[in-house]
Amino acid sequence: MHDDSEVAVLRLGHRPGRDERMTTHVGLTARALGADRVWFPDNAGQSLETVEDITDRFGGPFDVELTDSPQAIIRNWEGRVVHLTMYGERVQDVEDEIRDAHRTAEEPILIVVGAEKVPFDVYEEADWNVGVTNQPHSEVAGLAVFLDRLFDGRELERDWEDADRRVIPMETGKRVEPADEE
């Protein structure tokens, strides 16, 4: 979130058609749960448009970009790299260390999630390979749990800027108001 050092998400791999919703949901989840930005592979332009559209309507700040060289982003990242993988160390065993790096040492964090098979270089370049359980599931679920652990729930309280609408929480029903109305 913008009161801390940067948290970015990198989506590795995108199979057009098949991965459209997953890539979009990686971006929407990164935005909703406190990351500052996401990079998608350069063939995921449609997912980029959807995430930009949601940010325009529901607020930010949140940045979404395409990259033709995801591994260069990892190599050049000036901070720490967390790769989410079912083969990694248990999140509950490493979360304190990662939170210390982020909050106390103010290190920017890059969170890498895959689609299909992730190249072994990524496992070697990461500072932490982290499993959200060691069971196979989804990059969206792994990212959501990891961000909530990283921010310790503070992401749920954040304010949104430049939204043109906001949802009014209610027990039953759906209410959306223009964002400038109190």
Tell me: does residue 86 bind ligand SAM (CB under 6 A).
yes
Q: How many helices (H) and strands (E) does the chain have?
A: 6, 8
The C-alpha atoms of residue 148 and residue 156 are separated, in whole angstroms, by: 9
Q: Considering the complex, what minimum distance in angstroms separates the CB of residue 120 from ligand SAM?
A: 10
Residue reference for tokens 């982290």 = 130
Q: Considering the complex, what minimum distance in angstroms separates the CB of residue 4 from ligand SAM?
A: 22
Looking at residue 155, the DSSP 8-state letter turns out to be G
Say if residues 8 and 23 touch (Cβ distance below 8 Å): no
Residue nearest to ligand SAM (CB): 114
Residues 113-152 that bind ligand SAM (CB under 6 A): 113-115, 117-118, 131-133, 135-139, 142
Residue reference for tokens 């209410």 = 175
The C-alpha atoms of residue 177 and residue 119 are separated, in whole angstroms, by: 45
> Which range touches ligand SAM (CB under 6 A), out of 92-100, 111-119, 156-164, 165-173?
111-119
Tell me: does residue 179 bind ligand SAM (CB under 6 A).
no
Residue 50 or 129: the one with the smaller Cβ distance to ligand SAM is 129
Tell me: does residue 172 bind ligand SAM (CB under 6 A).
no
- How many Å separate Cα 165 from the centre of its chain? 22
The C-alpha atoms of residue 41 and residue 47 are separated, in whole angstroms, by: 10
Tell me: does residue 70 bind ligand SAM (CB under 6 A).
no
The C-alpha atoms of residue 82 and residue 122 are separated, in whole angstroms, by: 10
> Which range touches ligand SAM (CB under 6 A), out of 82-90, 102-110, 148-156, 159-167?
82-90
Q: Considering the complex, what minimum distance in angstroms separates the CB of residue 121 from ligand SAM?
A: 12
Say if residues 23 and 40 touch (Cβ distance below 8 Å): yes
Residues 37-66 that bind ligand SAM (CB under 6 A): none
Residue 15 or 166: the one with the smaller Cβ distance to ligand SAM is 15
Catalog residues that contact ligand SAM under the rule CB under 6 A: 84-86, 113-115, 117-118, 131-133, 135-139, 142
